[in-house]
Amino acid sequence: MRNAHLMTALALALLAATPAAASDKSDVVAVINRYNDSFNKNDAKAAEALCTPQAIIIDDFAPHAWQGASTCADWWNALAADSKKRGITEPKVTLGKAWHVEVTGDRAYAVYSTHYDYKLNGKPTTEQGVWTFALQKMADGWRIAGWAWAQH
């Protein structure tokens, strides 16, 4: 009888844990989608609000790495300067289906294929890329702890 109660308690605990993990996974995906939407709307403040205070960004334009209390704002400003210098306008990122989303406790990892569409000196241009995210669950929800972009 004791084993039956133990097995029942274990089964209930496993069932109760599954929706939380599924909820966390969908919450992680939602944060990444909001970040991407903010980028596409050129809404730096909304994007920055989704970053942790010490986020890390790696991207394919100089200085290639940003880290510190103002990482997301610094990256945004560097992107604007680089885009102006290179003649890039009308940027838009389309996320493909997530290749991988993993949630472990208060940490998450996600990898997406992407299309980065923009105009280069007025000419439509597309890059295919991979966008990799690391997230942390904070008191107010999931936040981006870091991301890296790679063109392929």
* Upstream peptide bond of 63 is cis (omega within 30 degrees of 0): yes
Percent of the chain with pLDDT over 90: 84
Strand, coil or helix: what is 62? coil
Report how far residue 96's alpha carbon sits from residue 129's, in angstroms, rounded to the nearest whole number: 10
Q: Listing from the earlier edge strand, what are the strands of the sheet with 123-138?
A: 65-67, 51-58, 141-151, 123-138, 107-120, 88-104
Average of pLDDT values for 22-39?
95
Beta bridge partners of 94: 115
Average of pLDDT values for 6-32?
65
Average of pLDDT values for 67-81?
96
Q: How confident is the model at residue 152 (pLDDT cuts 50, 70, 90)?
A: confident
Average of pLDDT values for 27-40?
98
Report how far residue 3's alpha carbon sits from residue 10's, in angstroms, rounded to the nearest whole number: 10
**pLDDT value of residue 32:** 98
What residues does each domain of the chain span?
23-151
Q: Which CATH number fits domain 23-151: 1.10.8.60, 3.30.470.10, 3.30.479.10, 3.10.450.50?
A: 3.10.450.50
